Amino acid sequence: MVGQKRLIDDLKQRNIREKYKVLIGGAPVSRKWVEEIGADGSAENAVSAVKRAERVASLILFFFHPLCSSSLRLL
């Protein structure tokens, strides 16, 4: 878990933290740890993290794609 914090600290030190979303995971990860180190979210394992990231990306594409957002305005 030290590596998770180190990653976020390195991104901050390089002034690029806002460019990336960081999902962390594993059995010992708790909501408190996610908040403490400033991660954007967590998952049970790497496979779950990928699935979660894919869902988030799909939602972003749906709501911010020009065709989708214009059709939502018609509702």
pLDDT in tens, 6-60: 999 999 999 999 999 999 988 889 999 999 999 999 999 888 988 988 998 888 8
Quote the pTM value: 0.70
**Contacts from 70-75 at CB under 8 Å and sequence distance 24+?**
none
Higher pLDDT, 66 or 2: 2
Q: What residue ranges define each of the domains in the chain, with the CATH number in brackets?
A: 2-74 (3.40.50.280)
How big is the CA angle at 27 (ends 22 and 31), to the nearest 5 degrees? 55
pLDDT value at residue 62: 80
Q: What are the DSSP calls for 37-56, one per residue?
A: HT-SEEESSHHHHHHHHHHH
**Residue closest to 38 by CA, chosen among 4, 15, 14:** 4
CB 43 within 8 A of CB 23: yes
Task: State the Cα–Cα distance between residues 29 and 42, nearest whole angstrom.
Answer: 8
Structure tokens at 50: 């990928």
Q: Which pLDDT does position 7 carry in this prediction?
A: 97
